[in-house]
């Protein structure tokens, strides 16, 4: 039986010795498989190479666990500030709603408009405070994640000093993108509403419904297209429009993949919110004494709900920011070999 290697196969040297690197390369006379490729360096929460979906989610979770001393104060502080205002405003709004209900049978236009104006004002305050909290949290937590990738820790004070110059531009970004989405949704509804107002009610209603569905598709497309604008703005110090263009460039060709990751992250956050909601509902029922009292408004119930919201947002804010920042880095690794720069930066910077 001929045991000599086939044509083109490496073989022993004329002296009978194996060629240099024969065993190192993973070859042998028994046709051993190739040796596995070297592992990618991992100075921080992710390996510095193109990431899988699970690695992105795990990297965000690792950031929360390994850097909780910074992540927890940031997310908890933002959550307490926004939820405290939201609880007070919601309580006032519920009282206004009850007042509006009480004057329904004996109402004057002035009283109704005054009650509605108060309700709209309280809802506007809640939205503004929530937006401010989102701006601060997204900016600071993106800084934390970028350092965690390099294996570096950062204090809350350092994250604040690093993110403070970007807050104004981040505010512009987080206002402009929702306005674009609302504009697309309104544009989809407009033809149907115009037909409805003109008297073609069945056709107008059907067209408006179709426009709502089309507008929702458009807003979802915009959401994914510009979802990487925030980390681009913070980490590359881009302007508002430049960061949106940068996000569109990074997302191009990977829209469905990024959409899937974001939806999976939202499902995980929904599960966390439901887990938090169960004990909150039980505590509310115990405090109220019966189901009818629990369903009606009380400040005790509002405070309990606010505490549950603080716990939920404290956990979800850093996870959301982490996933978005790691998607951004993964796209840059795939498109621009960012891993080479990160490896160099990790080697030059001290690791905490």
Determine the average pLDDT of the residues in 184-212: 88
pLDDT at position 27:
40
pLDDT at position 19:
47
Residue 152, helix vs strand vs coil: coil
For 238, the domain range is 53-346
Give, rounded to a whole angstrom, the gap between the first and last alpha carbons of the chain.
Answer: 61
| Nearest Cα residue to 83 out of 317, 320, 318, 303 | 303
For residue 126, being part of any structural domain is answered with yes
How many whole angstroms separate alpha carbon 283 and alpha carbon 342? Answer: 47
For residue 9, being part of any structural domain is answered with no
The CA-atom distances, in angstroms, between 181 and each of 196, 219, 224, 244 are 23, 5, 11, 14
For residue 195, being part of any structural domain is answered with yes
Per DSSP, the residues of 46-60 read S-SSPPPHHHHHHHH
Which range of 27-41, 61-75, 110-124 scores highest in mean pLDDT? It is 61-75
pTM of the model: 0.79
For residue 21, being part of any structural domain is answered with no
For residue 27, being part of any structural domain is answered with no
Of residues 335 and 202, the one with the higher pLDDT is 335
For residue 41, being part of any structural domain is answered with no
For residue 162, being part of any structural domain is answered with yes
Does the pLDDT value for residue 14 go beyond 50? Answer: no
pLDDT tier at 12, thresholds 50, 70, 90 = very low
Which range of 163-167, 316-320, 324-328 scores highest in mean pLDDT? It is 324-328
CB proximity list for 328: less than 8 A, separation 6 or greater: 228, 231, 232, 235, 250
With beta carbons less than 8 A apart as the criterion, state whether 50 and 336 touch: no
Does the pLDDT value for residue 120 go beyond 80? Answer: no
How many whole angstroms separate alpha carbon 4 and alpha carbon 16? Answer: 12
Determine the average pLDDT of the residues in 146-172: 92
With beta carbons less than 8 A apart as the criterion, state whether 235 and 142 touch: yes
* Residue 230: exposure state from Cβ atoms within 10 A (0-12, 13-18, ≥19): buried
User: Looking at the 3D structure of the chain, how many domains does it have?
Assistant: 1
Query: What number of other Cβ atoms are within 10 A of residue 108's Cβ?
Result: 9
Q: Look at the chain and count its residues.
A: 352
For residue 222, being part of any structural domain is answered with yes
CB proximity list for 97: less than 8 A, separation 6 or greater: 119
pLDDT at position 306:
84
Q: Quick one: how far is CA 351 from the chain centroid?
A: 27
């Amino acid at each position: 039986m001929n045991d000599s290697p086939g044509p083109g196969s490496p073989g022993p040297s004329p002296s009978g010795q194996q060629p240099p690197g024969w065993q190192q390369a993973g070859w042998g006379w028994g046709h051993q498989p190739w040796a596995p490729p070297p592992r990618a360096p991992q100075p921080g929460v992710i390996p510095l190479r193109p990431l899988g979906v699970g690695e992105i989610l795990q990297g965000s979770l690792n950031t929360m666990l390994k850097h909780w001393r910074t992540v927890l104060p940031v997310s908890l502080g933002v959550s307490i500030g926004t939820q405290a205002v939201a609880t007070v405003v919601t309580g006032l709004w519920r009282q206004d709603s009850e007042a509006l209900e009480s004057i329904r049978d004996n109402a004057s236009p002035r009283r109704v408009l005054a009650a509605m104006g108060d309700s709209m004002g309280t809802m506007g305050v809640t939205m503004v405070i929530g937006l401010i909290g989102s701006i601060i949290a997204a900016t600071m937590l993106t800084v934390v994640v970028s350092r965690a990738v390099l294996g570096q820790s950062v204090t809350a004070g350092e994250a604040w000093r690093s993110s403070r110059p970007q807050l104004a531009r981040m505010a512009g970004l987080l206002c402009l993108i929702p306005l674009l989405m609302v504009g697309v949704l309104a544009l989809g509804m407009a033809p149907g509403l115009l037909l409805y107002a003109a008297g073609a009610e069945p056709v107008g209603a059907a067209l408006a419904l179709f426009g709502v569905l089309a507008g929702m598709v458009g807003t979802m497309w915009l959401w994914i297209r510009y979802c990487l604008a925030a980390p681009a703005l913070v980490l590359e110090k881009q302007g508002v429009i430049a960061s949106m263009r940068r996000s569109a460039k990074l997302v191009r060709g990977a829209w469905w993949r990024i959409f899937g990751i974001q939806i999976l992250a939202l499902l995980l956050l929904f599960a966390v919110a439901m887990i938090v909601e169960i004990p909150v509902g039980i505590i509310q029922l115990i405090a109220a004494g019966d189901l009818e009292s629990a369903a009606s408004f009380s400040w005790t119930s509002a405070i309990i709900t606010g505490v549950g919201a603080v716990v939920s947002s404290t956990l979800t804010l850093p996870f959301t920011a982490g996933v978005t920042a790691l998607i951004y880095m993964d796209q840059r690794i795939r498109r621009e070999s960012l891993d080479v720069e990160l490896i160099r930066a990790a080697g030059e910077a001290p690791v905490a």
